Structure 1
Amino acid sequence: IGNDAFQEVDITGITIPITKHNYLVSDPDTLSDSVHEAFYLSTTGRKGPVLIDIPKDVLASKLKTPEKNHKAPVLEGYNPTIKGHSGQIKKAAALLQKAKKPVIISGGGVVGSGAEDALTAFAKANEIPVTATLTGKNGYPNTDRLYLGLIGYHGTAAGNNAIQKADVVVAIGTRFGDRTTGPLKTFAPNAQVIHIDIDPAEISKNVPSFLPIVGDASNIINALGEQMNKAGSLDCTEWLEYLLKIKTDREKPADNSKLNIPLILERLKKMVPNPIMTTDVGRHQIFAAHHFPVDRKNSFITSAGLGTMGFGLPAAIGAKAGKPDDIVISINGDGSFLMCCQELVTAVEEDLPVIAMVMNDQRLGMISQLQDAFYGERYSCCDLGKCVDFAKIAEGMGALGITVESPDEIEAAIQKAIDSGRPTVIEFILHEQGNTYPMVTGTSLTDYIEE
C-alpha cells in the first residue's frame, strides 16, 4: 500500500460513505480481530455492510499468533441503544390512546430488528392499520385485514390516504426517504409522528418527530404494547372501516386475456404460496410488491434505497445458498436481468437451482412510465428492442430456458422449472407495457393517478 502497486486503489477511502465501517489490515496478526469486530458491527445496532481491505502482502503472510477465542468486542464510542426510554414510551401510549385516526408505518427496521411478531401482535391488539415502505413490506402479514399496502410514490390508495388523513403516525424503522414521503411539505399534514428508530441520526432528519424513541424496534414495540394494555384498547372503528373500504373497492383480479405481470404473479402465488422472492428494480418490482402478498418472514428481498438494477438474480443465488431447501424465485425486468445475467454461470456451477422470471416488455419499463407521466411521452433511451432471446442465453450458460407467450402457458412453465431441479430462466413475452398504479404525480401522496 502506498507504492502505486498494480490495481492499488484507496478502497477504504472510496467506501467510507457507503459502509457502516471499514478496516485496512496492515498486520496479519490483527486480521482475526478485524473480522470478528466487522461481523459484530455489521449485525448490531443499525445493521449495515462493513468492509475489510486485505492487501496482497498481508494475505501472503504467515500468522505469528494462534487463532483466538473471541469474546464480544468492546469498541470505544460504539454502544447502540437497545432499550427505549420508558418515559417516551409512556408518552407514546398516552398519545395513541387519544388518537382517532392512527396508522403504523412498517419500515425496513422492523425486519432488521426481527420485530415482525411484535408488530403483528401490537397492531392486532389495538386494531391499528398498517402501511409499509418497500423494505418494510415483509414486516407485517400482507394478507391480514389491517394491512393497507405500500405508501409513497407507488403506494396504494388506502395506504397513502391513511398517512395523509392520520392524526397519529407510528413510524417504525423508516428513514422517511423521498420515495416514501413524496413532497416533504405535504407529508402527513395532520399527524403527530411517533418515530421509533435505532439510529438517532434518523430522528427528525427528514420528517419532524413529535415524539422520538431511540432503540431496538422489537424491544420498544413490546414495551409500548404493555403500556397500551394497561390503558385499554382503542376504538377506531370508523377510521378502519373508511380505509378498508378504499382497499376493497380497488381489489380486482388480473386481466387473464393477455400475458401481463399481475396475472403471472397471481398464478405464481397459487402455485407457490411461500417462496423466497427477490426482485430486480423497476416496474416489475412494484408489481411484485403490490400483487404478491407475503406473510412469511424474510421472504421478500429487494433493493429499495439504492434501487440497484441487476440485484435480483445474485440475491436469489445467495438466498438459495442459505436456504437450499426453499424455492427461490427472482422477479426480473429484461433491462435489469441483462445487467447480471452472467451470474447464471455461478448458479449452474454451484448447483443452485434458482428460478429467474424475466418480464420482457422490450423496454426499461419504469423509465418509460416516468417519461410518459412527466415528460409528455418524450421517450429517450428506454427502448431495448426485440433482439434478445433470454431462454437461449440461459441454455448457453447451462441453465434451463423456457419461453412463455400466452396466459395458458404460465402454470406449465413454472411447474417445469420447479421439477427440473436446475437453474431456470422463464422469459415471459408480455403483451403490453402495463404501467403500475397508483402513481403520485402531484404535490402530495393523495395526488395520484390510478390508471
Structure 2
Amino acid sequence: MTTRRMTVGQALVAFLGNQWTVDGDVRERTVPGMLGIFGHGNVAGLGQALKQANVQDPALMPYYQARNEQAMVHQAVGYARIHRRRATLAATASVGPGAANMLTGAALATANRLPALLLPSDTFATRVADPVLQQLEHPHDLGMQVTDVFRPVSRFFDRVQRPEQLFSIALAAMRVLTDPAETGAVTIALPEDVQAEALDVPEEFLAPREWHLRRPLPERWALTAAVEAIRSAERPFIVAGGGVLYSGAEDALRAFAEQTGIPVGTTQAGGGALPWDHPQYLGGVGATGTTAANRLAAEADVVIGIGTRYSDFTTASRTAFQAEGVRFVNVNVAAFDAYKHGTELPVIADARETLEALRGALGGHRIPAALADRVAAEKRSWDAVVDAALAPTGAELPGQSEIIGAVQAASAPRDVVVQAAGSLPGDLHKLWRVRDPLGYHVEYAFSTMGYEIAGGLGVKRGLEALGDDRDVIVMVGDGSYLMLHTELVTAVAEGIKIVVVLIQNQGFASIGHLSETIGSDRFGTRYRYRDAEGVNFERGDFLPVDLAANARSYGIDVVEIAPGADAVARLSEAVAAAKASPTSTLIHVESDPFLYAPDGEGWWDVPVAEVSELESTRTAREEYMEQRRRQRPLLG
C-alpha cells in the first residue's frame, strides 16, 4: 500500500479537498473551502495544513477569514442551502472559547437540517501539560471538555484521540454530511497535539471519492395508501417544506398541483417551492401564514406534508388543522418527520420521486369544483390585502410592511432575500412575493439573531461558486444587527457584494409586540437610557447609537434614509442603486414598530402567567386560554 507521511491536519485538509457530492447529473465539491480563526489550538495543525495547501495547490482547500466563530457556521449554512445541501463549508476554531463560540451555529445547522462541517480544536490528548490554557477541569471527569457540548447539537460527533482514528472518523463524518435524512452539524473535535502529529496516510484515503445523495423511491404500499387517501379527500391541502427545494422538487410540485388543483401553503423553509402568483399557491401557512392558506388548512380533511418537519409555527401550535378526523400523508426522506402527528400514512421517500409517482398514480383526479373556486377566491382576497400592505402610506416613519414593499419593488425576480429573526420573518412569510425557488432564505428553525449578515455572505459565496450573479438582499432589524454585524468586515475584505437593509426601530420590535400580547407591555424591549427612578428602560430618551456610522466605520458603503413622507420611495431608489453598485452597500432606514403587517389568522402558543397582579396580564391570560381551546391533541 502506497502511503504519504503527513500530519493529521494535513491529511484532513487533503482528504476534504477530494470529496465530491453527486446528485443525479450534478457533481460538485462537498467541502470547497474552509473558514477559520486561528489560535494556539489550531494554528500549528489545521492552520499549518491550510498554509501548506495554499502554497502547493491553492484550489485544493481555499481558506476564508471570519471575524466571529458563530458567523463561520452561519456562512456554511447559507452556502449549503443555496446549494440545496450538496455542498457546504468547513469551519475551524481554536480551543476553549473559540470552539464554544461555534455552538449556536451548530445548533442552527442541526435544527435546519442543513450540513455544516465543524472542526473545533480540543485540549492535549496526551494531557502532558494539564491543565493547558482554556482547559476545563472537572474533578469527576478529567476528559470532559468544551467540545463535549457539541454532542447534543450535532448530528455526528467524534474526537480524534489518536492519529490512526482519523480515517474512520473522517469517512463517517462525510457519510452523515451527505445523507439527506441525517445531515446537520457534523463535528470532529481535534486535540491540538494530535493535529500536528504525523502518520502514514494511504493514498486511497486521499483519492477522489464520490458521495451520492440518496433519493429513495416510495414503497408500493405507502404510495398506494397515499393515493387512496388523496382520492377520498374532499378538502386536501399541501404543506410544502424545505425538503421540496432540497430535492429539487419544485417543478414536480408545480405539475402535481396543476394536475390535481390541490392548494399549497409553504413553511418558512419551503418559501419558493411555488412562485407567489401560481393559482394553487396560497402563501405561508401557520402562525405567520396568510388567511388564504390558514383558512384552507383549517378545513382540510387530508394534509399532504412534503418535506416538512411540522414546527409549531407551521402547525400554529397545533391549531392550524381543525377538521374532525383530519389525516396526514407525510412525505419525507427522514422517517422521524414522516411519522409525525401519529400518522398511519408515512411515505419515507424523496419528495421529487414521490410527487412524480403520485401524479402518475392519480391520473386525472382533481379536487371538487367548489373547492377550486374557494382557493381562487381566498387567493384573490389575500393578494388584495398584500397590495394594500405593501403600498406607501406617506407616513413620516414607514411601517415594516411598506419597507418590505419598497425592497420588493426594487429587487429582481431571481434576487435572494435573507432573514432570520425578529418581526421580519413573520412579515416576510406573509408579504414577500417569492418569484424564484432560491429567492427566499429565512432561517426559522433556530431563528438566530445575528444570522442575517453572515448567512447572506454564505449565500453569496455559494452563488459565486455556481457562477450565479444574482443579488443577495439581507434584511435585518437593529436588535439582530447589534448581535453580530462584524462580518461586514469580511464582505469588505473579500469584495463580496451584498445589499443590507438595516431597519432601525429602537429595540426588539418582535418581542416588544409579543410582550404586549402576554401582558408585559413591552418591558425590557426598548433601547433607551435607564430610568433611575423607575429602575427600568421604559421612560428614558432613546439611545444616541448611530448604527449607520458603525457600518460606515467598517468600510462599507452606507446610505441613510431620513424620515419623511417620501422615505419609502427613497428606500426603493437606494436599493436599486445598491444593486447597480459593484460593492456592498448598507441602507439604514427608520421604521415605526407599532405598525403591524396584516393578520393571517394564525396563532403561536406562548404561555401567559396563570396568576398576576397586573390587569394587562390577567386580560392576556383570558385571551390565551381562549386560543388554547382550539389546540388539537394530535399524536406524535
TM superposition score normalised by structure 1: 0.90
1:69 aligns with 2:207: yes
Q: Match for residue 556 of structure 2?
A: 399
Q: Which of 547, 550, 560 is matched with 1:390 structurally?
A: 547
In 2, are the aligned partners of 1:103 and 1:170 still within 8 Å (CA)? Answer: yes
Structure 2 residue identity aligned to 1:233: H
1:234 aligns with 2:366: yes
Q: Match for residue 509 of structure 2?
A: 365
Q: Which of 175, 196, 201 is matched with 1:60 structurally?
A: 196
* Per-residue CA distance 1:74-118 (angstroms, 9 max, x = gap): 9xxxx9782221111022112211222111000122222222222
Q: Which of 100, 110, 126 is matched with 2:260 structurally?
A: 126
1:111 aligns with 2:245: yes
Q: Match for residue 521 of structure 2?
A: 378
Q: Match for residue 577 of structure 2?
A: 416
1:42 aligns with 2:177: yes
1:86 aligns with 2:220: yes
1:16-31 equivalence runs, <5 A: 16-31=151-166
Q: Match for residue 51 of structure 1?
A: 187
Query: 1:73, 1:91 → 2: CA distance?
Result: 32
Structure 2 residue identity aligned to 1:317: L
1:320 aligns with 2:437: no
Query: 2:629, 2:444 → 1: CA distance?
Result: 21
Could you say what secondary structure the match of 2:188 adopts? Answer: strand
Gaps of 5+ in 1: none
Could you say what secondary structure the match of 2:425 adopts? Answer: helix
In 1, are the aligned partners of 2:400 and 2:592 still within 8 Å (CA)? Answer: no
Query: 2:488, 2:295 → 1: CA distance?
Result: 42
Structure 2 residue identity aligned to 1:379: R
Query: 2:629, 2:253 → 1: CA distance?
Result: 27
Structure 1 residue identity aligned to 2:425: Q
Structure 1 residue identity aligned to 2:292: A
Q: Match for residue 433 of structure 1?
A: 594
In 1, are the aligned partners of 2:503 and 2:588 still within 8 Å (CA)? Answer: yes
Query: 2:146, 2:252 → 1: CA distance?
Result: 40
1:270 aligns with 2:409: yes
Q: Match for residue 76 of structure 2?
A: none
Q: Which of 241, 258, 277 is matched with 1:143 structurally?
A: 277
Query: 1:364, 1:137 → 2: CA distance?
Result: 25
* Per-residue CA distance 1:117-137 (angstroms, 9 max, x = gap): 221211111111001111111
In 2, are the aligned partners of 1:37 and 1:73 still within 8 Å (CA)? Answer: no
In 2, are the aligned partners of 1:275 and 1:299 still within 8 Å (CA)? Answer: yes
Q: 1:432 to 1:184 in 2, by over 3 A?
A: closer
Runs of 4 or more consecutive aligned structure 1 residues displaced over 6 Å after TM superposition: 444-447
What CA RMSD, in Å, does the superposition of the two structures yield over aligned residues? 2.5
Could you say what secondary structure the match of 1:222 adopts? Answer: helix
Q: Match for residue 107 of structure 2?
A: none
Structure 1 residue identity aligned to 2:448: T
Q: Match for residue 351 of structure 1?
A: 495
Could you say what secondary structure the match of 2:193 adopts? Answer: helix
Deviation at 1:326, TM superposition (A): 2.3
Q: 1:71 to 1:98 in 2, by over 3 A?
A: same
In 2, are the aligned partners of 1:25 and 1:58 still within 8 Å (CA)? Answer: yes
Percent identical residues:
25
* Per-residue CA distance 1:419-444 (angstroms, 9 max, x = gap): 33222211111145322333527237
Query: 1:429, 1:71 → 2: CA distance?
Result: 51
Structure 2 residue identity aligned to 1:57: D
Query: 2:187, 2:511 → 1: CA distance?
Result: 32
Task: Determine which structure has more spread, i.e. the larger CA radius of gyration.
Answer: 2
Aligned residue pair count: 439
Could you say what secondary structure the match of 1:52 adopts? Answer: strand
Query: 1:21, 1:346 → 2: CA distance?
Result: 29
Query: 1:186, 1:142 → 2: CA distance?
Result: 21
Q: 1:306 to 1:444 in 2, by over 3 A?
A: farther
Query: 1:396, 1:445 → 2: CA distance?
Result: 51
Query: 2:296, 2:631 → 1: CA distance?
Result: 10
Deviation at 1:45, TM superposition (A): 2.7
Shifted more, 64-73 versus 145-154: the winner is 64-73
Q: 1:153 to 1:235 in 2, by over 3 A?
A: closer
Q: Match for residue 172 of structure 1?
A: 306
In 2, are the aligned partners of 1:334 and 1:361 still within 8 Å (CA)? Answer: yes
Deviation at 1:72, TM superposition (A): 5.4
* Per-residue CA distance 1:396-440 (angstroms, 9 max, x = gap): 011111111312311221133223322221111114532233352
Query: 2:630, 2:274 → 1: CA distance?
Result: 22
In 2, are the aligned partners of 1:164 and 1:446 still within 8 Å (CA)? Answer: no
Structure 1 residue identity aligned to 2:489: V
Shifted more, 22-31 versus 208-217: the winner is 22-31
In 2, are the aligned partners of 1:345 and 1:397 still within 8 Å (CA)? Answer: yes
Deviation at 1:391, TM superposition (A): 1.6
In 1, are the aligned partners of 2:551 and 2:558 still within 8 Å (CA)? Answer: yes
Q: Match for residue 434 of structure 2?
A: 294
Structure 2 residue identity aligned to 1:242: R
Q: Match for residue 89 of structure 2?
A: none
Q: Match for residue 306 of structure 1?
A: 446
Query: 2:629, 2:446 → 1: CA distance?
Result: 23
Q: 1:197 to 1:313 in 2, by over 3 A?
A: same
Query: 1:362, 1:70 → 2: CA distance?
Result: 52
Query: 2:168, 2:438 → 1: CA distance?
Result: 30
Q: Which of 163, 174, 180 is matched with 2:297 structurally?
A: 163
Query: 1:200, 1:349 → 2: CA distance?
Result: 43
In 2, are the aligned partners of 1:399 and 1:424 still within 8 Å (CA)? Answer: yes
Deviation at 1:218, TM superposition (A): 1.6
Shifted more, 315-324 versus 295-304: the winner is 295-304
In 2, are the aligned partners of 1:152 and 1:445 still within 8 Å (CA)? Answer: no
Deviation at 1:386, TM superposition (A): 4.3
Query: 2:254, 2:548 → 1: CA distance?
Result: 41
In 1, are the aligned partners of 2:288 and 2:429 still within 8 Å (CA)? Answer: no
Query: 2:255, 2:320 → 1: CA distance?
Result: 31
Q: 1:73 to 1:344 in 2, by over 3 A?
A: closer
Q: Match for residue 536 of structure 2?
A: none
Query: 1:54, 1:411 → 2: CA distance?
Result: 48
* Per-residue CA distance 1:371-411 (angstroms, 9 max, x = gap): 22221x62211112442222211110111111113123112
Query: 2:581, 2:354 → 1: CA distance?
Result: 46
In 2, are the aligned partners of 1:138 and 1:297 still within 8 Å (CA)? Answer: yes
Could you say what secondary structure the match of 2:365 adopts? Answer: coil
Could you say what secondary structure the match of 1:294 adopts? Answer: coil
Deviation at 1:335, TM superposition (A): 0.4
Deviation at 1:317, TM superposition (A): 0.7
Q: Match for residue 112 of structure 2?
A: none
In 2, are the aligned partners of 1:344 and 1:394 still within 8 Å (CA)? Answer: yes
In 2, are the aligned partners of 1:152 and 1:181 still within 8 Å (CA)? Answer: yes
* Per-residue CA distance 1:341-360 (angstroms, 9 max, x = gap): 11111111111121111111
Deviation at 1:293, TM superposition (A): 1.6
Deviation at 1:185, TM superposition (A): 6.9
Structure 2 residue identity aligned to 1:198: V
Query: 1:60, 1:209 → 2: CA distance?
Result: 51
